Structure 1
Amino acid sequence: MLKKLFSLLIIASLVYALAACEKEKTNGIISEKEGVEYYQKGEYEKALPLLGQAADSGNAAAFYYLGLMKREGNDTAKSEEKSCEHFLKAAEGNYKKAYLKVAECFFAGKEFKQDFSSAFKWGKKAAGVVDEIQMDDKDRLALAIIMGNLYASGKGTLQDFSEAAKWLHQAAEKDYAPAQGMMAFFYYSGQGVLANKEKAKYWAEKAASQGDMMGEFALGMLYQYRDNPDMKEAISWYEKSAMKNNEVAQYQLGRIYENGTGVKKDLTKAHHYYRLAAKSGKDYPIKALSDFERKHKLENNP
């Protein structure tokens, strides 16, 4: 009898604990809904404590909206780090709208630790719910930029130009100039897509019209390496790109003036552009500068 009574007491206590847990969860949902309503009205002072209460109950949606408030500094101290921490908790709680925000945090790595593998992981998850959460155009663009860059660079995942082109094409169509410049190179080189000079020129012109340095450089290449080269136009576009500290354009101008490609050979200009390119710290322009100075017995004077 005593054993049976003891068992009943244990069951009763478990039921009570579960009920308390469920009550806390329900309260968290109510607080989250009220908090979101206040947030959407711009009444942040009322939203903050309610969302905080819901988050304390483990409500993933509440963490997401707290993340938004921390990011914008809505009635709370602005903090990208805290914002990202909230977004991560929301994403780990399977709040799908938070997936992209976490990917952005890991990709940018400003106040939050940069981690391309994690950026790719959450980006992939965000890509899987684009239609489900009715992702808006702004977020679709952000996702395309992140995934396109990661696939193109091979950071956080295996380098895949085909996937990179797929994502960057989406960004290019949304008038994102750097993606348009990259699409020009993909179509010019045939990486990730079938080579197509007409499409390369189309995207290069779109990018260059917005002052994008890679679009300008791509136009330079198209003018230099077409069947009937137009070096005047090529140099003009390379110079525009070089002025924006594009070391590839600076390097190309160095080669043109060193070799006298379609222009009068000018070692002073060649030296100038090689030095500018070498300031990027990248290996190939540093080597080019060293080779040039050794060949022409020059010193790297500022």
Structure 2
Amino acid sequence: DHFRPIDKRKGETLIANAMNNGSEIAKGFCTFRGWGGLEKNSTDAFDIFMNVASSEENPNSFAMIGYMFKIGLGPKKCKDMEEAIKWLKKAVSCNHSWAQCMMAYCIQEGEGIKKDETTALNLYLESGKLGYSKAMYNLGELYHYGSQFIKVNKKKALYWYTLAAQQGHDRARFKVDNGEFEGRKKKKENDGKGKHRKAKRGSQIYYGEQ
């Protein structure tokens, strides 16, 4: 992400190369995903991330630890939102865009932390301004449909959907291409780059998964 389309294959190669060059955090990612010839093992990956976090101020390790607690892949293999929030906060304090997006979703839904849509919106904005496409999509959703505390704003919705779509976010592509924003699109687009391919429908908020 970070204002660039995702290339998963290239990302996997770069992380595997970093591991081969001695990066412990990269080794953690490869162990978590089963990349670089390693066997997929979430327990070993968690231990690696914890070792990295204890030896250096590494926001990637903080975010991964928070994520693993959030989805039930911590030491006890059960969801632990108290620990998840603690580690995500550490990553957010380092301006980690993925962690900002995950934390925003937790706050938006009141998952492990007090629900506060305004705070969630501001965190999504921070993440989106750093170029994280899933935060951009969530901003599009919030402005598109509105809520008790957030007013509908189709102009802002299209703006954030378009940014996410430019980075290959399929749901954002569908939102941009389905005709609802056609009048606004004609004013802002026509850049000669062609149409995005359409994606499947999906109105559920999509937060920052790795």
* Common fold by TM > 0.5: yes
Write out per-residue CA displacement over residues 38-88 of structure 1, whole angstroms, 9 at most, x where no aligned residue. xxxxxxxxxxxxxxxxxxxxxxxxxxxxxxxxxxxxxxxxxxxxxxxxxxx
Q: Distance in 2 between matches of 1:221 and 1:119?
A: 30
Paired residue for 2:177?
290
d(CA) in 1 for partners of 2:171 and 2:53? 29
- The answer to whether the aligner puts 1:152 opposite 2:42 as a matched pair is no
The equivalences for 1:269-284 within 5 A come to: 269-284=156-171
Q: Any conservation in 1 of the 2:158–2:181 contact (CA below 8 Å)?
A: no
Q: Please give the alpha-carbon distance, in whole angstroms, between the structure 1 residues aligned to 2:130 and 2:15.
A: 28
How far apart are the structure 2 equivalents of 1:261 and 1:198? 27
The answer to whether the Cα contact below 8 Å between 2:52 and 2:58 also exists between their aligned partners in 1 is: yes
Q: Is the 8 A contact 2:60 2:91 kept in 1?
A: yes
Runs of 4+ more than 4 Å apart? none
How much has 1:231 moved relative to structure 2?
Answer: 0.4
**Deviation, structure 1 residue 215:** 2.2
Gap runs ≥5 in structure 2: 1-10, 190-210
- 8 A Cα contact 1:242 1:249, kept in partner: yes
CA distance in 1: counterparts of 2:170 and 2:39, whole angstroms: 23
Distance change (3 Å), C-alpha of 1:265 and 1:282: closer
Residue 98 of structure 2 corresponds to residue 210 of structure 1: no
- Deviations for 1:95-148, whole angstroms, at most 9, x for unmatched residues? xxxxxxxxxxxx997xxxx693x877x68xxxxxxxxxxxxxxx6xx32x1221
Mapping for residues 156-175 of structure 1, pairs under 5 Å? 156=36, 157-173=38-54, 174-175=56-57
Tell me by how many angstroms 1:216 deviates: 1.6
Distance (Å, rounded) in 2 between the aligned partners of 1:295 and 1:285: 12
* One-letter amino acid of the counterpart of residue 260, structure 1: G
Deviation at 1:224, TM superposition (A): 0.6
The answer to whether the 8 Å contact 1:223/1:234 transfers is yes
**TM-score of the superposed pair, with normalisation by structure 2:** 0.68
1:184–1:218 contact (8 Å) kept in structure 2: no
CA contact (8 A) 1:235 1:253 kept: yes
- SS of alignment partner, residue 190 of structure 1: coil
Q: 1:162 to 1:276 in 2, by over 3 A?
A: farther
TM (norm. structure 1) is 0.49
* 1:177 partner amino acid: P
Offset, 1:176: 0.6
Greater fraction helix = 1
Provide the rounded CA distance (Å) in 1 between the counterparts of 2:96 and 2:108: 19
2:208 counterpart residue number: none
Rounded to whole Å, the distance in 1 between the matches of 2:40 and 2:119 is: 33
RMSD: 2.9
Which structure would you say has the larger Rg? 1
Equivalent residue for 1:224, pick from 108, 130, 140: 108
**How much identity, in percent, do the aligned residues show?**
21
Q: What SS does the corresponding residue of 1:254 show, helix, strand or coil?
A: helix
Q: How many angstroms does 1:163 deviate by?
A: 3.4
| RCO comparison, higher one (Cα < 8 Å, 6+) | 2
The question of whether the paired residues in 1 share the 8 Å contact of 2:15 and 2:29 is answered with no
CA contact (8 A) 2:101 2:124 kept: yes
Q: Indicate which of 81, 99, 102 corresponds to 1:197.
A: 81
Gaps of 5+ in 1: 1-106, 124-138
